[in-house]
Chains A and B, each alone.
Chain A
Amino acid sequence: MSTSPDEYTTLADPEVAVLSAATSIDSATLGLSPLQVAWRGLRHAPPSAWFGLLVIIAYAVVAIFAPLLAPYGQAQVVGGAYDPWSHQFLLGTDQLGRDMFSRLIFGARNTVGIALATTCLSFVLGGLCGLIAATLGGWTDLLLARVVDILMAIPQLIFALMLLSIVGTSVLNLVLIIAVLDSTRVFRLTRAVAINVVVLDFVESARLQGERLMWIMTREVLPNILSPLVAEFGLRFCFVFLTIAALSFLGLGIQPPAADWGSMVRENASLITYGDITPLLPAAAIALLTVGVNFVVDWFLHKTSGLRE
């Protein structure tokens, strides 16, 4: 802990956060390297957590190595419309004759990547502002809270649509706008849990030593509110998926021809009427990841709950 790890990178990546939390709990075993300690924590993890971790790792591998794994390009038209499953096209083709399997693989990269980036950004932004508001209190708190109230007063999807049509649709704009809008929820949670910690004696003690705001926020307060934030991260991550899918459906999300699980469901929805489950596969992919992430988050909460009484 003395080497000052950036708490925000820990927060931003669920896997790192989970592992580092396991580290801080189990290392009554001093002298072991962090990796060994992490391994000890993992060995005692329940099967659900293992399952969740495996799912997350599998998705990460698929997303990173998408061009190597996919037999065709995501925008490449390789066959006729709605070809059935075959050796050539494992999961058939879509309405334009693009390979479904390849698009599913590329979709992992686009959808998960964007959702992850957005969630991380919203947590850095919302978490930082929430911590500042709770720690400083007074006018800063009042000002930040009112700004957030104003942002939250406008329905999120409509606000996002409006902003996207003003600034134009690009991946960067999409990420920034959803992150800002989503960070309001993170802000409220962070502020609410941090306010309970800020009044404790150890924070007053740190103030009395003349510690700086950044130290108090990241070292005294943040570690004590990490578990609700990580739980929220799991939830927010899934919500962002849905928001992106909804925006894609309305034509303002991830732009074709890039593959996106949300729009893939919509584009091929007519197949469902013929009893073909192919259009449901992207939805299943979303569901599986959601379940995996939440299994890991549950385990993390269970591990940390023993510490916070």
Chain B
Amino acid sequence: MITKEVVENVAWLARIKLSEEEKEKFARQLSEILEYFNVISKVDTSSVEPTFHVLELHNVFRDDEERESLPQEVALKSARESEDGFVKAPKIL
């Protein structure tokens, strides 16, 4: 059901580089797992709404009041690389 190509596609969407072996292994495992998970298709949910939130809360807000931000050094401290206050990221193309 889940082929190696599907795994490649999904791995791209998730930005995880996989080796050929991993692709094959995951294809097998994902197929097996999803085949089992498919059992939920047997449940009659025709008159049921999905539960997105188990607690029925709504309209939770905050006021438009400023709070202090992090100092620049702290914001950049864990970054991969920084330069002149910017986070330095790899090239786009």
Q: Do A and B bind each other?
A: no
